[in-house]
Structure 1
Amino acid sequence: MKTDGTAGRPAPFDELDRRLIHALQTDGRAPFSRIAAVLGVSDQTVARRYTRHRGSGAFRVLGLAEPRALGEVEWLVRVQCAPDAALPVAEALARRPDTSWVSLMSGGTEIAAVCRSASSEHSDALLLQKLPRTPSVVGVAAHCLLHEFYGGPQSMISKSGALTAEEAARLSPPPPLRPSPKLSTPPPLSTSFERGDPHEQGAPPLPVVLSDADRRLFEALGRDGRAPLDELAAVTGWSPTTVRRRLAALRAEGVLYYDVDYDLRLFGYGVMVALWLSVEPAELAATGEALATHPEVAFAGATTGPNNLFASVLCRDTSALYTYLTTRVAALPGVRTMESSPRIRHLKGPGPYLAFSPAAPRSRR
């Protein structure tokens, strides 16, 4: 990795790096030749940039499952610990396969994490049994994520303008089809889709049921969203052709999406804050939608609890954070109270826990 000459720190992403990341966020498995054509550079340049940055840990492409498509429920969890126990508890949480976005927050005694459960009735194993009984855990608060205003396949880089709208459109895949009951059980060779009876379009789609091979596929994509087809075939037991069809089917169903996990420092972000807002119910939808448009917001969602609107906010420094809180946030309608909590250490992002990787601040939540 390049360095900027200051204590050996990695050099910030340049314009081409940002355009490449935006392209990968738009389509994480797009061929380098297609990306190169949009960026106006050679295939070799794109391949070199990608290989260098992925090898250094500056960014990586992940293939992730959309929890709502699987009928899963997400919980934003805040765990209060004794000071000397917070890091071990956070590491234990990060190692769990049903968690993501695990961080130590201000003061070093609070852990923030996202936990997933098969349904709201199956959340007790971690939230009601294990965490409260963990030594040195003095409090647990869990807020069910009701609605996502910004997040998932959308990222901070999507708001950056690194690619023009026309360039992003050239790379964008077709929008997901409405999942149909026929595809809830996934025969890997099936690539046909049904949009359902027009009279039933308002009904919630049935959750998609993943096979064991699908789950192995997602485990591999969580480590490397651009893993070669031969490698994915080896872990699933399918042929490369079947893998290609299944990837297309899962993406068309809205189950699979691609995300770029990158080092925030290389984008110039020095401060990440968890923002909890209490909003008048009549203003919640409008306020959440307005919040989602802010360039500082990496994630925004409506939750249960007295603080019913959550956002992950990224700023260059504390001065920029103060300006943001006293201008854009202050202008939001219906906000009654605000709580902000800076992140001091990042342990896990959207993908699997990499205990050997440096604890660099990562993108988004």
Structure 2
Amino acid sequence: MELDEFDLALIEQLRVDGRASFESLGTRVGLSRTAARARVQRFFDSGVLRVAAMVHPEFEGIHAFGHVSITVHGRASAQVAASVAQLPDTPFVSVVSGRHSVVAELRSPDVAHLSDTVSLIRSLDGVQSVDTLILTHLLKEPHIPAHGPGRPEQFDETDRRLLNLLHEDGRMPYADLADGVGLSRGATRTRVLRLLGTGVVSVTGMVNPTALGMTQMSGFQLHLETDGTTALSVIGRLEQVSFLARTLGRCDAIGTLITRARTETVDLLDRMRAIDGVRDVQSWTHLELVKEQYDRRPLRANGAAHGAAASR
């Protein structure tokens, strides 16, 4: 799909505010409301963009994050990856190149549950070994609101019903949201703005990288000098770095690159190696994305998460 400067500007505005009105979007980029609406609808129809409501993991009772690299023996890597993807605490699973055959991200209520998930992975047919990292600080993560979710007692069942409706459609009109929870439109708008303002949820445009020619996905791990804060700040500002986290384990940080070509990936890895504070960079290539399901699971009245994650 060919995108012009107006398309790119609209996509950026929706990434900042997925609930912005078509009139507001048009004003910001220099188009009429009708033209902005038509272009945005084209994004949705073509799969270039979708608007997602992302609830902060802490609000769902998720407090432990991990990453596992899996060595496979006696079974196809894709089969092992499919088995790992069946586990509820694995929002991301991919077949990769290099020493390990499969990598997965883990999100669990606490470290004990995370450890249980790792044990389950070790017991799967075809898994020879599992190398585990604990993610201690998420530095760049597009699926999590930038701010914390506040105190759970600040929110009630009506708030949770609103979150479930936003999960179904991040751009659902306030009138429809109000009908869904039995409040006036004004009261509903106030609650939604409070949920957004307190960091419980963010509604953002999620871009399909392949639609923009970003077809190469790679993972990398970093060994840092001293604490590496400055180096990680520089790396986190790179546009092609979609994910970055501090870790506890075999390395000091881990991340993901999404680029248009392998040559761009190689160049970025070399740039990282040259950054002051970076001692070593190792990388792998994602060959087949098996699971990517970061959307929030339905919330119970007490705020706990349950059931399988919906597809992102």
**TM-score for both structures, normalised by structure 1:** 0.70
User: Which residue pairs with 1:32 in the alignment?
Assistant: 22
Distance between the aligned counterparts of 2:266 and 2:34, measured in 1?
A: 43
* Equivalent in 64, 89, 92 of residue 54 of structure 2: 64
**Corresponding letter in the other structure for 1:122:** H
User: Which residue pairs with 2:247 in the alignment?
Assistant: 303
Distance between the aligned counterparts of 1:142 and 1:62, measured in 2?
A: 29
8 Å contact 1:35–1:46 — kept in the other structure? yes
* Equivalent in 262, 273, 276 of residue 218 of structure 2: 273
1:199-348 matched pairs, under 5 angstroms: 211=157, 214=159, 217-229=162-174, 232=177, 237-239=181-183, 241=185, 242-280=187-225, 282-326=226-270, 328-346=271-289, 347-348=291-292
Distance between the aligned counterparts of 2:77 and 2:159, measured in 1?
A: 34
Distance between the aligned counterparts of 2:4 and 2:97, measured in 1?
A: 31
- 1:106 deviates by 2.0
**Corresponding letter in the other structure for 1:80:** T
Specify the SS of the correspondent of 2:81.
helix
- 1:132 deviates by 1.5
**Corresponding letter in the other structure for 2:131:** A
8 Å contact 1:275–1:310 — kept in the other structure? yes
Distance between the aligned counterparts of 1:247 and 1:232, measured in 2?
A: 9
* Equivalent in 4, 26, 46 of residue 14 of structure 1: 4
Distance between the aligned counterparts of 1:218 and 1:320, measured in 2?
A: 39
8 Å contact 1:64–1:218 — kept in the other structure? no
8 Å contact 1:62–1:259 — kept in the other structure? yes
Aligned residues: 296
C-alpha spacing 1:84/1:32, structure 2 compared with 1 (3 Å)? farther
Specify the SS of the correspondent of 1:345.
strand
Specify the SS of the correspondent of 1:99.
coil
Distance between the aligned counterparts of 1:238 and 1:82, measured in 2?
A: 55
RMSD across aligned positions (CA): 3.1
| Cα displacement string for residues 152-210 of structure 1 (whole angstroms, at most 9, x for unaligned residues) | 3799xxxxxxxxxxxxxxxxxxx96x765xx421444xxxxxxxxxxxxxxxxxxxxxx
Gaps (5+ residues) in structure 1?
1-10, 156-174, 189-210, 355-361
User: Which residue pairs with 1:127 in the alignment?
Assistant: 118
Distance between the aligned counterparts of 1:319 and 1:240, measured in 2?
A: 55
Specify the SS of the correspondent of 2:153.
coil
1:38-53 matched pairs, under 5 angstroms: 38-53=28-43
Gaps (5+ residues) in structure 2?
296-308
**Corresponding letter in the other structure for 2:170:** G
- 1:342 deviates by 0.9
C-alpha spacing 1:109/1:340, structure 2 compared with 1 (3 Å)? closer
Specify the SS of the correspondent of 2:265.
helix
Specify the SS of the correspondent of 1:249.
helix
- 1:298 deviates by 1.5
Distance between the aligned counterparts of 2:294 and 2:163, measured in 1?
A: 12
| Cα displacement string for residues 42-90 of structure 1 (whole angstroms, at most 9, x for unaligned residues) | 1112212222221232221111122256562221232333475433443
8 Å contact 2:221–2:253 — kept in the other structure? yes
Distance between the aligned counterparts of 1:17 and 1:76, measured in 2?
A: 35
User: Which residue pairs with 2:65 in the alignment?
Assistant: 74
**Corresponding letter in the other structure for 2:274:** A
Specify the SS of the correspondent of 2:51.
strand
- 1:255 deviates by 1.7
- 1:239 deviates by 3.0
Distance between the aligned counterparts of 2:182 and 2:95, measured in 1?
A: 40
8 Å contact 2:15–2:206 — kept in the other structure? no
Specify the SS of the correspondent of 2:189.
helix
1:58-207 matched pairs, under 5 angstroms: 58-68=48-58, 72-82=63-73, 84-94=75-85, 96-106=87-97, 110-128=101-119, 130-152=120-142, 183-188=151-156
8 Å contact 1:83–1:108 — kept in the other structure? no
- 1:97 deviates by 4.8
**TM-score for both structures, normalised by structure 2:** 0.81
- 1:22 deviates by 0.7
8 Å contact 1:150–1:298 — kept in the other structure? yes
8 Å contact 1:261–1:349 — kept in the other structure? no
Distance between the aligned counterparts of 1:82 and 1:260, measured in 2?
A: 40
8 Å contact 1:233–1:243 — kept in the other structure? yes
User: Percent of aligned pairs with the same residue?
Assistant: 25
8 Å contact 1:60–1:261 — kept in the other structure? yes
User: Which residue pairs with 1:201 in the alignment?
Assistant: none
**Corresponding letter in the other structure for 2:282:** E
User: Which residue pairs with 1:6 in the alignment?
Assistant: none
User: Which residue pairs with 1:55 in the alignment?
Assistant: 45
8 Å contact 1:87–1:104 — kept in the other structure? yes
Distance between the aligned counterparts of 1:246 and 1:283, measured in 2?
A: 40
Distance between the aligned counterparts of 2:204 and 2:82, measured in 1?
A: 23
